[in-house]
Structure 1
Amino acid sequence: MSVTIDVSEHVAIVTLRWPERRNALGPQEADEVADAIDTAAGSGAAALVLTGEQAFCAGGDLPSILSAIDGATPADVESIVYEHFQKLARALRGCRIPTVAAVNGAAIGLGLDLALWCDRRFVARSARLGQGWARMGLIPGTGGAALLERLAPGLLWKLLGTDGELTVEEAAAHGIAEVVEDPVATAIEFATALSRAGTAALAGYVQLARTGLPDEVYLRDCARLQSHRLTSADFARRVERSGLSAKKA
Structure 2
Amino acid sequence: MTTPDIRIEYPEPGIARVMFARGDNGNASHPKMLGELRDAFLALADDESVRAIILAADGKHFSVGADFAFLDGLTHQTAVEIKTTVYANFQGAAKAIYRCPKPTVALVQGAAVTVGCELALACDFRIAADNAMFQESWIKLGIMPPLGGVFLLPRIVGLGRAAEMCLLGRPVKAEEAHRIGLVSEVCDKEALAARGMDFARDVAAIAPLAYATVKQSLHRGLESSMETEWQANLPNQAMLLGTDDFREGLAAVKERRVATFWGR
Q: Same fold (TM over 0.5)?
A: yes
Decide which of 110, 113, 121 is 1:108's aligned counterpart: 113
- Superposition pairs of residues 162-181 of structure 1, within 5 angstroms: 162-177=168-183, 178-181=185-188
Match of 1:39 in 2: 43
- In the alignment, is residue 156 of structure 1 matched against residue 162 of structure 2? yes
Residue 150 of structure 2 contacts residue 166 of structure 2 at CA under 8 Å; is this kept in 1?
Answer: no
Describe the shift of the 1:155–1:80 C-alpha distance in structure 2 as closer, same or farther (beyond 3 A): farther
Residue 108 of structure 1 contacts residue 131 of structure 1 at CA under 8 Å; is this kept in 2?
Answer: yes
- CA distance in structure 1 between the aligned counterparts of 2:35 and 2:222, rounded to whole angstroms: 21
Q: Tell me by how many angstroms 1:42 deviates.
A: 2.8
- CA distance in structure 2 between the aligned counterparts of 1:208 and 1:163, rounded to whole angstroms: 31
- CA distance in structure 1 between the aligned counterparts of 2:91 and 2:192, rounded to whole angstroms: 25
User: Structure 2 counterpart of 1:152, which letter?
Assistant: V
Match of 1:225 in 2: none
Match of 1:229 in 2: none
Residue 139 of structure 2 contacts residue 169 of structure 2 at CA under 8 Å; is this kept in 1?
Answer: no
- CA distance in structure 1 between the aligned counterparts of 2:220 and 2:192, rounded to whole angstroms: 26
Q: Higher mean Cα deviation, 12-21 or 1-10? A: 1-10
- CA distance in structure 2 between the aligned counterparts of 1:6 and 1:125, rounded to whole angstroms: 24
Cα deviations across residues 37-68 of structure 1 (Å, max 9, x unaligned)? 2222233221110011012111111212332x
Q: Following TM superposition, where does structure 1 have runs of at least 4 consecutive aligned residues deviating by more than 6 angstroms?
A: none
Cα deviations across residues 14-33 of structure 1 (Å, max 9, x unaligned)? 00000121111111111111
- Superposition pairs of residues 27-106 of structure 1, within 5 angstroms: 27-43=31-47, 44-54=49-59, 55-67=61-73, 69-106=74-111
- CA distance in structure 1 between the aligned counterparts of 2:72 and 2:80, rounded to whole angstroms: 15
Describe the shift of the 1:97–1:117 C-alpha distance in structure 2 as closer, same or farther (beyond 3 A): same
Secondary structure of residue in 1 paired with 2:16: strand
Overall identity of the aligned pairs, in %: 30
Secondary structure of residue in 2 paired with 1:107: strand
The alignment of Structure 1 onto Structure 2 pairs a total of residues equal to 213
Match of 2:150 in 1: 145
Decide which of 15, 22, 31 is 2:19's aligned counterpart: 15
User: Structure 1 counterpart of 2:28, which letter?
Assistant: A
Cα deviations across residues 173-229 of structure 1 (Å, max 9, x unaligned)? 111102112333222211211232232222223222323568xxxxxxxxxxxxxxx
User: Structure 1 counterpart of 2:197, which letter?
Assistant: I
Residue 27 of structure 1 contacts residue 65 of structure 1 at CA under 8 Å; is this kept in 2?
Answer: no
- CA distance in structure 2 between the aligned counterparts of 1:164 and 1:176, rounded to whole angstroms: 14
Residue 38 of structure 1 contacts residue 91 of structure 1 at CA under 8 Å; is this kept in 2?
Answer: yes
Structure 2: tracts of 5 or more residues without a match:
224-264
Describe the shift of the 1:213–1:61 C-alpha distance in structure 2 as closer, same or farther (beyond 3 A): farther
The normalised TM-score by structure 1 is 0.79
Match of 1:3 in 2: 6
Q: Which has the larger radius of gyration?
A: 2
Structure 1: tracts of 5 or more residues without a match:
215-249
For the aligned residues, what is the CA RMSD? 1.9
- CA distance in structure 2 between the aligned counterparts of 1:140 and 1:111, rounded to whole angstroms: 11
User: Structure 2 counterpart of 1:102, which letter?
Assistant: L
Q: Tell me by how many angstroms 1:78 deviates.
A: 2.5
The normalised TM-score by structure 2 is 0.75
Secondary structure of residue in 1 paired with 2:220: coil
User: Structure 1 counterpart of 2:36, which letter?
Assistant: E
User: Structure 1 counterpart of 2:124, which letter?
Assistant: D
Decide which of 171, 188, 198 is 2:197's aligned counterpart: 188
User: Structure 2 counterpart of 1:203, which letter?
Assistant: A
